[in-house]
Amino acid sequence: MRIDRLPWLLALAAFVLLSGSALLSATAAQADDHALVTKGEYLARAGDCVACHTNPGGALFAGGRAMATPFGTIYSSNISPDPKTGIGLWTANDFYGVMHAGRFPNGGLIYPAMPFGSYTKVTRADSDAIFAYLRSVPPVPQPNRPHELRFPFNNRQLILGWRTLFFQAGEYQPDPTKSAEWNRGAYLVEGLGHCAMCHSPINALGGTSESKAFEGGLIPMQNWYAPSLTSNKEAGLGEWSIDEIVNLLRDGVSHRGAVYGPMAEVTFNSLQYLNDADVRAMAVYLKSLGQGSPLPPENSGISAPESSLLLNFGQTVYETNCASCHAKDGRGIPPHYPPLAGNPSIQMESSVNPVRMVLNGGFPPGTAGNPQPYGMPPFAQSLSDDEVAAVVTYIRGAWGNRGSAVSARQANELRTAPLD
């Protein structure tokens, strides 16, 4: 009897053990999934997917956000996991095809408003994690809106030509001569961060060439100038400490300056959520880009006498309207009243940004590190074109700053620049 029961007991024990281990491995798989989704969410932040694929106040990743381009209006697509209108039927391979090759699952060409030229540097593992995260958000049934592109840009076959000129597929290749931290920073800046989309000059074809990567440029349609990251005259990060760059990127304010315009969006939606190690790595890489560039020669289209008149008048305007925060000597009270003396974003060859700041004012983004930002008042109503030109000329030229003079006409033109 005992002997008879033994195999049965053993079988039962084995069954219990087996099912127990199955249960354990199921739990482990769930934990793996959860970890993957969490990693994907973090990486989706680093890629700032939300900036284009979510309408302000709208459903997460439902797309439909209008983006004005020189070629017409493009509407972002629904990347929620809805099977009919989103990416619910895609596989991880399909998603990688978009990120890496800029092609839809059916092989169709994607307009380069989607920064696949940068995302191609993302590893397969990171792409899979982002895909797992996108699969985990609530599906939103919202059909994609057709783009409104002018002829001939409405012909997707043109993208083939564009790709030949400006696109090269390939994951990021670490530089073995550099530190792991530098390589991590480069991977984030060049890949998911897609910083080159704004910080490189855009040519007439809407392309950026690799040789001019990060050399700065006017952002089409927005009329903000994205400073060169390679020249110390512009973003000037080569001169900053790592902590100052970290504060600027993550908190939106630093002892050297604050983010504003389109960069405020990047800090608000993306950079403030990155961990310290990653922001620091980006800072290390960005600082290295700005090393050793010579200062470009000063360039002014305005005659010396006119320029000196503007300077004198500008000083009066400055002392009446600006000095109470930015101080008479232009040193500000950092980080909340940014310094103007020695601030490269004021002295760049393009005077678009300082003119717009005077006209429109602005708040740095609200972040965990700076939850209640100090706002700069708009002066569009209280200052005339002459006064704006004079005060911007003054802050570009006073206290050892080396920016060129600004004309009333330039100031006037920016009064109608779009604010959204």
Partner 1 sequence: MATLWLSLMLGAPVIAPAQPTERAPDTLQARLLACAPCHGRQGEGTNNDYFPRLAGKPAGYLMNQLVAFRDGRRRYPPMNYLLEYQSDAYLQKIATYFAALRPPATPQAVSDVSAAALARGRSLMTEGDQAHGVPACSGCHGPKLTGMEPAIPGLVGLHASYISAQLGAFRYGTRTAAEPDCMQLVAASLSESDVTAVAAWLSSQPVPPDPSPVPKGTLQMPLGCGSEAN
Give me the residues that bind partner 1 (CB under 8 A), please.
56-57, 255, 264-265, 267-268, 325, 331-334, 336-337, 339, 341-342, 360-366, 371-382, 418-420
Q: Is the dihedral of CA 39, 40, 44, 46 positive or negative?
A: positive
Q: Given the complex with partner 1, which of 206 and 342 has the nearer CB atom?
A: 342
Q: Given the complex with partner 1, which of 59 and 149 has the nearer CB atom?
A: 59
4, two tokens? 């008879």
In the block, residue with structure tokens 């930015």: 326
Q: Given the complex with partner 1, which of 9 and 333 has the nearer CB atom?
A: 333
Q: Given the complex with partner 1, which of 87 and 266 has the nearer CB atom?
A: 266
Q: Minimal distance in Å, beta carbon 264 to partner 1?
A: 5
In the block, residue with structure tokens 């608000």: 268
55, two tokens? 């309408």
Distance CA 342, CA 239 (A): 11
Q: Minimal distance in Å, beta carbon 337 to partner 1?
A: 6
22, two tokens? 């199955």
Q: Minimal distance in Å, beta carbon 220 to partner 1?
A: 18
Q: Given the complex with partner 1, which of 268 and 285 has the nearer CB atom?
A: 268
Distance CA 80, CA 365 (A): 26
Q: Given the complex with partner 1, which of 160 and 333 has the nearer CB atom?
A: 333
Distance CA 223, CA 418 (A): 7
**13 contacts: CB under 8 Å, gap ≥ 6:** none
Q: Minimal distance in Å, beta carbon 234 to partner 1?
A: 20
Q: Given the complex with partner 1, which of 230 and 247 has the nearer CB atom?
A: 247
Q: Minimal distance in Å, beta carbon 239 to partner 1?
A: 13
Q: Minimal distance in Å, beta carbon 285 to partner 1?
A: 25
Bridge partners (DSSP) listed for residue 367: 370
Does residue 246 contact residue 283 with C-beta atoms inside 8 Å?
yes
212: which DSSP letter?
G
**381 contacts: CB under 8 Å, gap ≥ 6:** none
φ, ψ for residue 389, nearest 5 deg? -60, -40
Q: Minimal distance in Å, beta carbon 53 to partner 1?
A: 16
